[in-house]
Chains A and B, each alone.
Chain A
Amino acid sequence: MNTDASRNDLVKRGNSTLGVAAVLLAAGALLGALLGALALFEAFAVTDAVAGLSIARWFGVLLAGLGVALLGVGATSRAGLVRSEPDRTAGPVAGVAFSLVGLVIGGLLASQTLGFGTLWPIGALIVGAVALLLTVYPRGDLGATLPSGLLSLFTGIVVATGVIAPGWSWSPIPGSFTLPGDIAVPLLAIVVGFLVAWMAARAYGGFGTQGKQASAYLLVSASAAGMLALLVVLVSYIVVRGWAPMTEGVKWGLFWANWTYFYVPPIHRYVVIDGPVLWFHWPFVMNGHALLNDVNGIMPAIVGTVWLVLGAIVFAVPLGVGAAVFLTEYAGQSRFTQLVEVSTNGLWSTPSIVYGLFGWAFLVPRLGNGFSILSGQLVLGFMLLPLVIITSREALTSVPNAYRDASAALGVGKWETIKSVVLPAAMPGVTTGIILGIGRIAGETAPILLVAAGSPFPSDAPNVLTSFQLSATPPFVTNDALLQATSALPYQLYAVITAGVNKNAGLAWGTALVLLLVVLSFYAIGIASRIYFRKRLEA
């Protein structure tokens, strides 16, 4: 008898009333938090009226309702009206969380509403302690619902009655920080909504171990969703603002035109082949800056960034992979390799402006004594180098030793083995490192500013490809274009933003969007080559 009672059912049938109520409650709370987030990002204005009541007050009503419902769920569970398996206590994590919330609310009430003056910590401590007690002392079901329910009810009433409303504002430090009501209300909805959803998830699992499981699941999935949402917001923000300036004046058309023609001797005729020709004009990415342009474009900056990144890759990848091969395959584990490892990690975390300063003081005077693409490529290459070394070492060490043994047992020497077996097997990892590195260097502004930046809005792109010249004297190959200053996307963006009076916000967003696209295309190339290398290794 006794053991039966203390043992939980192995099979749980149907939806319990508690489960249904908890799901509804959690859904309502998450909806409140979501609406709060939307309001915060100005998807709608909290002052708008819906059904005769402003949205701000509806937030209050929702929170108060959630509070009452949560209290009700806790009470019915405590009274034994629904089946639940509560723990002895709601646990220390919830206790700490709610006592912190209590501290904040108590402090605000004491200092702002009740006018305790410098004695406000007393109020804060009292409310915090009460919240802690309410959470930890009662049985698990009551401890989970009482503080969160009361909190939700209290904020709900405060917001619904208009004590905190869009017109309201609070300046704890007058003149420097003001919290207006139309931000405070959605913020409250988000915070309280999450706390309620957390505890509703506990109710869903019956307040016991299962409940903690459910609430943990809710918390981690909410943070994943939040991160994804942040990414989407960030990208869509840039796309929405940058799209119009980027596509301004785009024209294209299909024409029937001559493709080629050739002479056919037997019939003494020319054969002419016509076909459709696509004509395309995209001023923003095809133009430079010039007086007579229909739309001023950023082509020179795009070309500059591409050359800078390509140069950095050409410089850093062979060097980095070579160093990694030496360190992993030849040097073995020793003091020396440990030292190198530590210093590469250190180099990787060195701020880019420091690299820039080094380039400015060391490279610029030696390479043509002026800002140049070449200096920029080298400095970005220095920055890329440690990451290439780190990831290549990682990739090389994860190549199974069985391959090396198999090759050695066939009488194949070390270098041949590395070249034909180890490196191909490590290539996917190496490319991953390069991909990550490109993301960092393509967007670097500081070092470019110090070593490579010319006019931010030139009319022509650097003509690197056709400027190579051979000479009979060292260094045998010269390229004037490489020794000239350039513009680059992040640098141009910086120049636009700090321009002040004539600031052209459209140009800035368009540039940002193009930079994003350029980085993404480098990524695409990198990912495609990683897939290629991996395909070769896989069945």
Chain B
Amino acid sequence: MSDSSTTETAEDEQPTTTTTTAGETVEEVQDEWIEYDFDGPAKFSATDLNVWYGDDHALHDITIDIPENSVTALIGPSGCGKSTFLRCLNRMNDRIKAARVEGSVELDGEEIYQEGVDLVELRKRVGQVFQSPNPFPKSIRDNIAYGPRKHGDINTGLLARLLGGDDREREEELVERCLRGAALWEEVSDRLDDNALGLSGGQQQRLCIARALAVDPEVILMDEPASALDPIATSKIEDLVEDLAEEYTVVIVTHNMQQAARISDQTAVFLTGGHLVEYGDTDQIFENPQSQRVEDYITGKFG
């Protein structure tokens, strides 16, 4: 076991006695946490992460390490804090006024909740795909080139053309590479200048993935990216996610157990109230969950 592997243990000093839906107390639930060891470096490691929305304590003491170049699925009933946790990883929570975050999240060992963190740089490294497809009302090309253009990596404006620094060709390459990466190239290669809102929902979602790839991130966060899509579009996204894991670290929220089982390498189960209850190899979580409540949730008995 390498020295960067981590161990998670129950924190039995928890004073809270909130009763959960299944009638167990929180301490009982947390006693059932299991250790999860993995080889290789951790991309993210969150320690004692707490989030409040006003007085609403949405995440309780989350401690988790997410390995690099793999797919991590977050599952759990609605309102348990999956999206909140995801937003902690690229500090999109900063955009919510009521949200307050305490604890630590490290990206490649570097604390992202410290002073002086450049949010632009952070979000360039940690991209996000949202639950409902949200392409800009611009052409397909402009959608993909948007990030690099804004970051000054590509200049195609009038001024750039006059000064001879025109990056048109590089932009063409980038657009094609990202669209191929998002398995969309075949479908849209002949209409790159059409408005992105004219695409189907599934195509739009893959365009959003392509747009996220264009800024060359290391991590891609996905919040139920397939929830608005039909089975065929969903399976395309799923295939895509598995491919992406070769190059990127993917953290994906899903409500679909089969989806989580199919595509993820490890799974974290959150339960109501914002507690991380179980985390481990996906196969192990689905075949042999340690906690009765997780088993109930996975088999559909509650949640």
Contacts and interface: CB of A to CB of B under 8 A. Distances in A.
A235 to B, nearest CB: 36
A38 interface: no
Contacts of A407: 136, 146
Contacts, number: 75
Nearest to B142: A420
Contact of A406 (B97, B119, B122, B208): B208
Which of B95, B119, B198 lies at the interface centre, i.e. has the most chain A CB atoms within 10 A of its CB?
A: B95
Contacts of B150: 410, 412-413, 416, 420
Interface string B137-161: 1100000001100110000000000
Interface stretch (B23-31, B127-135, B227-235): B127-135
B137 A538 contact: yes
A402 B95 CA distance: 12
Interface string A485-508: 000000000000000000000000
Given A406-B208, A411-B123, A411-B124, A539 B147 contact: no
Nearest to B150: A412
B198 A539 contact: yes
A452 to B, nearest CB: 38
Interface in A242-279: none
B194 interface: yes
B120 interface: yes
B226 interface: no
Nearest to A403: B136
A455 to B, nearest CB: 46
A537 interface: yes
A332 B121 CA distance: 25
Contacts of A539: 194-198
B95 A408 contact: yes
Contact of A420 (B128, B146, B198): B146
Nearest to A538: B195
A475 interface: no
B211 A410 contact: yes
A409 B150 CA distance: 13
Contacts of B260: none
A537 B128 contact: no
A400 interface: yes
B212 interface: yes
Tier of interface size on chain B: 20 to 34
Contacts of B128: 409
A49 interface: no
Contacts of A411: 119-124, 147, 151, 215
Nearest to A413: B120
B15 to A, nearest CB: 36
Contacts of B123: 408-411
Nearest to B90: A409
B127 A402 contact: no
A294 interface: no
A497 B272 CA distance: 77
Nearest to A406: B134
B147 A400 contact: no
A378 B196 CA distance: 41
Contacts of B136: 403, 406-407, 421
A538 B198 CA distance: 8
A536 B138 CA distance: 7
B117 interface: no
A80 B197 CA distance: 61
A420 B149 CA distance: 11
A412 B147 contact: yes
Contacts of A406: 130, 134-136, 208, 211
Contacts of A405: 92, 95, 130, 134
Interface string A384-416: 000000000000000010110111111111001
Interface in A517-539: 536-539
A298 to B, nearest CB: 41
A425 interface: yes
A48 B167 CA distance: 82
Interface in B211-229: 211-212, 215
Contacts of A400: 134
A403 B97 CA distance: 18
B213 to A, nearest CB: 11
Contacts of A421: 136
Nearest to B149: A420
A402 B134 contact: yes
A425 B134 CA distance: 13
Interface of A: 332, 400, 402-403, 405-413, 416, 420-421, 424-425, 536-539
Given A403-B134, A411-B121, 11 more contacts: A403-B137, A405-B134, A408-B92, A408-B95, A409-B92, A409-B128, A410-B123, A411-B122, A421-B136, A424-B138, A537-B195
23 contacts: A400-B134, A402-B130, A402-B132, A403-B136, A403-B137, A406-B130, A406-B135, A406-B136, A407-B146, A409-B123, A409-B212, A410-B147, A410-B150, A410-B212, A410-B215, A412-B146, A412-B147, A416-B150, A421-B136, A537-B195, A539-B194, A539-B195, A539-B198
